[in-house]
Amino acid sequence: MIDAHNCYPYEGRWNDRINRALSAGTPLAIEQDLYWHTDAKTGKSWSVVSHGQDVTGDAPTMEHYFFDRVRPIIEKALKEGNHGNWPLVTLNLDFKDNTPEHIEAVWSLLEKYQDWITTGTKTSDIHTISALIAKPILVFAGESDNQQKIFYGRLPVGAKLLAFGAVHSHNSNPMAAPDVLDPDPENNYRRWWNNPWNVVEAGGQTKAGAWTEVDNARLQSLVNHAHRNHLWIRFYTLNGATAEEQSTNGWFSGYNFSSLQSAEIRWRAAQQDGVDYIATDQYELLGRFLKGVSSAQ
């Protein structure tokens, strides 16, 4: 599915990103970068949706920017019931710092909206995997051990799990075998695997040449490894924008292939090979593409 990369405003711009993402339809994933902002005058701290240091404190909170925006969609879904399409939205939490106070604050927010959130159950042995109770939102956390301590470790056995962490990735040699990149055994908390594209094509997006059968076999091997170990797998970030589009929209050149056509070839391969989350900044284009509509139309 679409994974809406950096789906939040920053530098006081691009406030429409969440609307753009949701316009592509559900199911989809929405990434929210979280920063622990401290007001210099009052000393008060709170979590904001921001790519980096929020000097002015004007960045929105995740409750306002994400939860308030998806409320009509989620309440409608809960009223209608699960027709086999839940979760509708995967909320991907990208913490820009992992202070305990920050993670605690986000946990409290998730507790407030727990009736909307897909849950598991804490087991006495972390390697005993609990079944998920599907709700309209699924929450992903990151690789951080600090996040695991708060989102899982401190909970009593039998408690609801509201967020699921990523397995540790070991990318010192990005082209290593899949089981070297991800040596972690599956467990009840860590249920997904987050990967840069340079584990598929050496050098990543900016060094990518023609898409080959060897490249596709590499992608398929990573997907197969993830799914054999009961993990969702995500790759970031697959863009094919012009220089002008990158500048206008605040997209990073390091995530860009040489052309939209080059990106579309990878989008199609990722879809056909069973990638669960394809991250891009071009939400609408990927949404249409995955539904079989040419970007030229």
pLDDT of residue 166: 97
pLDDT of residue 197: 98
Contact residues for 260 (Cβ-Cβ < 8 A; gap 6+): 240, 241, 285, 295
- Taking the CB of residue 59, how many other CB atoms lie within 10 A of it? 24
pLDDT digits 0-9 by tens, 115-148 = 999 999 999 999 999 999 999 999 999 999 999 9
The residue whose two tokens read 């316009």 is: 23
Residue 156, CA distances (Å) to 16, 78, 231, 239 in order: 40, 28, 24, 42
Q: Which helix (H) or strand (E) holds 53?
A: none
Q: Is the peptide bond before 156 cis (omega within 30 degrees of 0)?
A: no
Cα Rg of the chain, angstroms = 19
pLDDT of residue 105: 98
Provide, for the chain, the percentages of residues in helix, strand and coil under a 3-state DSSP scheme, each rounded to the nearest 5.
35, 20, 45
Contact residues for 77 (Cβ-Cβ < 8 A; gap 6+): 86, 88, 136
DSSP E strands, 178-227? 190-196
Q: Is the dihedral of CA 190, 95, 274, 2 positive or negative?
A: positive
Tell me the two tokens of residue 229: 């170990």
The whole-angstrom separation of Cα 247 and Cα 245 is: 5
pLDDT of residue 297: 41
pLDDT of residue 183: 84
- Could you read off the pLDDT tens digit of each residue along the chain, which spans 297 residues? 999 999 999 888 999 999 999 999 999 999 999 999 998 889 999 999 998 766 667 899 999 999 999 999 999 999 999 999 999 999 999 999 999 999 999 999 999 999 999 999 999 999 999 999 999 999 999 999 999 999 999 999 999 999 999 999 998 999 999 999 998 888 999 999 999 999 999 999 999 999 999 999 999 999 999 999 999 999 999 999 999 999 999 999 999 999 999 999 999 999 999 999 999 999 999 999 999 854 444
The whole-angstrom separation of Cα 162 and Cα 91 is: 11
pLDDT of residue 294: 42
pLDDT of residue 54: 62
